[in-house]
Structure 1
């Protein structure tokens, strides 16, 4: 009975959080004749700014409530860059393949009224930057944001395009470790730790889940155990000195690793890698990473 009850809790939790954690469809932008996915929700930011984001039904759209798992916002926006200016061109239902122009125009007019010119809206509320894919996929957060090896970075000031540049988000150096594919990094880290003998005179057991941070310079900068965040938790579940020993042992074991530089929007970023290990009685490691 306890197992059944626990399973029900998992199912309920999944249903409650499915919208927030499901992969989301992007908006689109028309740029130099191409229609390209864009992962910066410009129209959504406008709704949040005018505090209309929590209404269950907005301008004929099923907004929030009743939205599909892969489109929690209840719509997709299509933007266009024309004459160095950014415009909102369409608001469509999620996954709409053939655009209903009449419905789209009605939605835009109801939201922006007199600001609609020639069926479009000049996006004067947006200042910032967004990038467009111009190469292979490099990273995906599993829900929405995607980073590509090469991108076109577009900077905007009050709806006016201020700069367009090509950027690289990956520096491939021959004397560093390749990490183009995120799913291989934990294996590389495990293989480095596997070289060590984990037997020690204090009989400390370092079997645990770790989060390993690769810094902006491509070197391991930090190791934590995410399940033990406070001194109280550490003292409760770990013998004296054991926690510090294991953290330092993992850090030391990864000290010599130097990875290629990973970027987002052309700027170096940190990356956190999930790793779970099990230490056998003979001091050898098993990789328990999912």
Structure 2
């Protein structure tokens, strides 16, 4: 029997975004890129990488821009950058105040000149410090970490090598298979998992109580590959709160209950990714889960 038994009866499901953690809790304004005449938001802080490279990203007030201290909650970096692709090269075109609707070209030029000096040519800077890739979004929003990073259903992947655009390709980040479970939206995943686990009879002869928080991994193939209890990671933690047989039983039961699910494939920049789903399940006396989310 579990040493510390929970008595709260509820189920709470949160889909956790892959990808990256950020210490800033407020949603952040994007940067922009001018591509084929359109100005489009992008979610890759290319200019910020430059400031980090020269180790000046946390100096407070820099070049007339307010960075960390005093910056607004939804624009902690204190500026927004506008980029442009021209002649297969990536340029920095403007540095503007957060939320600036009409660009103050004079102020932008002053910032550019003070930061980059003679690297400013014809009012823009060749981005020779950046190698990597970023996506120009298209289609519906698939996932968002709640702060900055977003993944869209479709996009244009731009690969860059020291400022030179080496490849431009269209990518799709979602494979919609009619034979698989739709996972475009987080609530779809939560409902499916709840219904699947609720098919099980959680009453057992050993009277194990599996009411707990679980982290379920949906693998790159769209199938559940792993289940853990995030609050109990070390042997010491497990031994302190659980009997080993009960701990193993609960993990295996949740994994077994979800193993036959096959979800659509989710991608990032055109490549399949894993996704983690946080589940908190509480078991009623009749061996069923009560869904308080509806």
Instruction: Normalising by structure 1, report the TM-score.
Output: 0.92
| Aligned with 1:254 (options 242, 254, 258) | 258
Q: Could you tell me which residue of structure 2 aligns to residue 159 of structure 1?
A: 163
Please, which runs of 5 or more residues in structure 1 have no aligned partner?
Answer: 1-17
Q: Could you tell me which residue of structure 1 aligns to residue 6 of structure 2?
A: none
Q: Distance in 1 between matches of 2:103 and 2:60?
A: 23
Runs of 4+ in 1 over 6 A off after TM superposition: none
1:161-204 per-position Cα deviation (integer Å, ceiling 9, x unaligned): 11111000001111110001123211110110000100011100
Q: Secondary structure at the match of 1:243?
A: helix
Q: Secondary structure at the match of 1:155?
A: strand
- The answer to which structure has the higher helix fraction is 1
For the Cα contact (< 8 Å) 1:192–1:254, is it kept in 2?
Answer: yes
Offset of residue 19 of structure 1: 7.1
Q: Distance in 2 between matches of 1:206 and 1:288?
A: 18
For the Cα contact (< 8 Å) 1:277–1:288, is it kept in 2?
Answer: no
Q: Could you tell me which residue of structure 2 aligns to residue 136 of structure 1?
A: 140
Q: Distance in 1 between matches of 2:213 and 2:30?
A: 33
| Aligned with 1:200 (options 201, 204, 211) | 204
For the Cα contact (< 8 Å) 1:276–1:288, is it kept in 2?
Answer: no
For the Cα contact (< 8 Å) 1:79–1:89, is it kept in 2?
Answer: yes
Q: Distance in 2 between matches of 1:205 and 1:170?
A: 37
1:65-92 per-position Cα deviation (integer Å, ceiling 9, x unaligned): 0001111111100001111111000001
1:43-84 per-position Cα deviation (integer Å, ceiling 9, x unaligned): 000000000101110111111100011111111000011111
Offset of residue 263 of structure 1: 0.1
Offset of residue 240 of structure 1: 3.5
Q: Could you tell me which residue of structure 2 aligns to residue 187 of structure 1?
A: 191
Q: Could you tell me which residue of structure 1 aligns to residue 227 of structure 2?
A: 223
| Aligned with 1:212 (options 212, 216, 223) | 216
Q: Distance in 2 between matches of 1:168 and 1:98?
A: 33
For the Cα contact (< 8 Å) 1:278–1:288, is it kept in 2?
Answer: no
Q: Could you tell me which residue of structure 2 aligns to residue 11 of structure 1?
A: none
Are residue 95 (structure 1) and residue 84 (structure 2) matched? no
Q: Could you tell me which residue of structure 1 aligns to residue 172 of structure 2?
A: 168
Please, which runs of 5 or more residues in structure 2 have no aligned partner?
Answer: 1-21
For the Cα contact (< 8 Å) 2:182–2:188, is it kept in 1?
Answer: no
Offset of residue 226 of structure 1: 1.0
For the Cα contact (< 8 Å) 2:144–2:151, is it kept in 1?
Answer: yes
| Aligned with 1:107 (options 108, 111, 125) | 111
Cα-Cα RMSD: 1.3
Q: Could you tell me which residue of structure 2 aligns to residue 285 of structure 1?
A: 289
For the Cα contact (< 8 Å) 2:217–2:227, is it kept in 1?
Answer: yes
| Aligned with 2:126 (options 111, 118, 122) | 122
Instruction: Normalising by structure 2, report the TM-score.
Output: 0.91
Q: Secondary structure at the match of 2:178?
A: coil
